[in-house]
Chains A and B, each alone.
Chain A
Amino acid sequence: MMQPLLSVKGVSRYFGGLRAVDGVSFDVFPGEILGILGPNGAGKTVLFNLISGIYEPTSGEIWFRSERIDSILPHLIAQKGIGRTFQIVKPFASLTVLQNVLVARGITRYSHLSKVWGPWGSKGEIRKAMEVLEKVGLSDLAERKAGLLPLGNLRRLEIARALVVGHTILLLDESFSGLRHDEISRLEDLIRSIRKDGLTVILIEHNMRVSMGLCDRIIVLDHGQKIAEGPPLEIQQDKRVIEAYLGGKGIAYAS
């Protein structure tokens, strides 16, 4: 059997009495697109924060390849090539769009103090950052201050930065929300094309059409627990999933 790239093993995170994530386990295999679904407050974003090291699990383990990563700091997890976007966008507002991407490009330097004294504005660096901006369609706005961009563009900027960092796993937290129709299909194409490059993608998505069309496998969370796992078609017909989304009464309408 194929070795999982990322293994989440019985992970829980409590905030006081609230079990935001409650004993969740799953594996992610190289090259797949895994969707995480669930109603609001199901614990999806908390799960991302646990994987990317922003929170430490209350219990359970997270493994990346043959390494345990559940208690190491976010910058060290990023340095393993795990990139992420934030649902509530976090641009470096006073920097230009280009500089935002350059910050991410510096990832190979930040761990060695001897490598951080050179200039960030070299021609080669700028060219490579521009290539990434072209991928997400932001190259025209490269010199704009990130803080002045509308939400749709900021989501693309989040993806651009995550693409630079995430050369093994990409975590996309509702990157489609707030996008127009044409932007959605462009982003779908982008995700398919980066998967072809060998990347593994985990995405949180509310848009059913998008997640059903894009994902190889889907995990459904509700109240912090995993209630279903499987290919999109199976998930669509899962009783517990329909119940979680529509409530008990919804099943009557659905059937």
Chain B
Amino acid sequence: MSSYAVTIATIIVIQAIAVCGLNVIVGYAGQISLGHAAFFGIGAYSAAVLTTKLGLSFWTALPLVIGISALIGLLLGLPSLRVREDFLAITTIGINFIVEAVFRYVPFFGGALGIGGIPRIMFFDIRLKGIPFLLLCVGFLILVLLICWWLTRSWASLACYAIRDEEAAASTMGISPVRFKLLAFVIGTAMAGLGGSLYAHYMQFISAGDFSFPVSVGFLSMLVLGGMGTLWGPVVGTLILGILPELFRPLVDYRIFFYTLLLLLMIRFQPGGLLGEESFARKIIKPLMRGFKK
């Protein structure tokens, strides 16, 4: 594998971890978020600060990083989740801009220069980069997918689905909408924080622009393309939107245009995403799988 391919693959896997988190919020609980990059950034910045300023290792910092991301997710989710749909979308966009501004203008976070010199992750005595680092990220992605798989079978997710489909009916079945929306939000932001931490240690240098609003739009595009609420949708969506721009390098300036176009087409023709029920991809895959089993 060339180092170029390893770089692309690593970024895709890290983003897939964040998109899995977004899936818990948007796909399971039905709460639109257009500010997921903020929590990706909070994870990255807390990892950067804890390792460069306090000298912690990646491993000791990791629980703190996830805890901080989840806590800020809880604090920001508390007021945001009181509003619904369009208003929630706008509120989360606002969160993204505010968090980005804090990174950009507060000197503690390096201001416009960002934070550099973030150490590589040590695994016993090995300094992880290249393929070993990619494998570590894949390991974390598998862990996140396992958590998602387990979530979908739990009463917690059943409560989230109920809120997503019919909030009023869910509340007359003993489900507190606030509690379970917050729960989904906290789990989702914690996963974003994990992804952000890996991103910081991979890039070794981060700045506020890495976590701006267009990154959130990218995350949501990946999720919608792959299939909201499905287990593998986030991975498939991230893979496609991660590889496509590399294949069509000359079009890189029009990336946002294509993302938006893709998002509109998906919502118009395949609202369930590529892996959603009744999708054309599933119709193609299903007979193949059947043949395979025979």
Contacts and interface: CB of A to CB of B under 8 A. Distances in A.
A118 B176 contact: no
A91 B161 CA distance: 11
A106 B168 contact: no
B9 interface: no
A178 B77 CA distance: 41
Contact of A75 (B153, B156, B171, B183): B171
Interface string B154-170: 11101101101110111
B155 A110 contact: yes
B280 to A, nearest CB: 19
Contacts of A121: 153
A75 B172 CA distance: 5
A93 interface: yes
Contacts, number: 106
Contacts of B250: none
Nearest to B159: A110
Contacts of A84: 172
Interface in B249-285: none
> Which interface residue of A92, A93, A95 has the most chain B CB atoms within 10 A?
A92
Interface in A70-99: 73-75, 77-79, 83-84, 86, 90-95, 99
Most chain B C-beta atoms within 10 Å of own C-beta, residue among A93, A94, A118: A94
A190 B158 CA distance: 28
Contacts of A94: 161, 164-165, 229
A26 interface: no
Interface string A3-27: 0000000000000000000000000
Nearest to B163: A92
Given A110-B155, A116-B154, A118-B154, A54 B168 contact: yes
A79 to B, nearest CB: 5
User: Considering the complex of A and B, which 7 residue pairs feature the smallest CB-CB distances, nearest first?
Assistant: A107-B174, A90-B169, A92-B165, A74-B171, A116-B156, A90-B166, A116-B155
Given A107-B174, A120-B154, A121-B153, 5 more contacts: A54-B172, A92-B162, A103-B159, A110-B179, A116-B156
Interface of A: 52-54, 73-75, 77-79, 83-84, 86, 90-95, 99, 102-104, 106-111, 113, 115-121, 161, 164-165
23 contacts: A54-B171, A74-B168, A74-B172, A75-B173, A78-B174, A86-B168, A90-B166, A91-B165, A92-B166, A92-B169, A94-B161, A94-B164, A94-B229, A95-B162, A106-B175, A108-B174, A110-B176, A116-B154, A118-B155, A119-B153, A120-B155, A161-B173, A165-B174
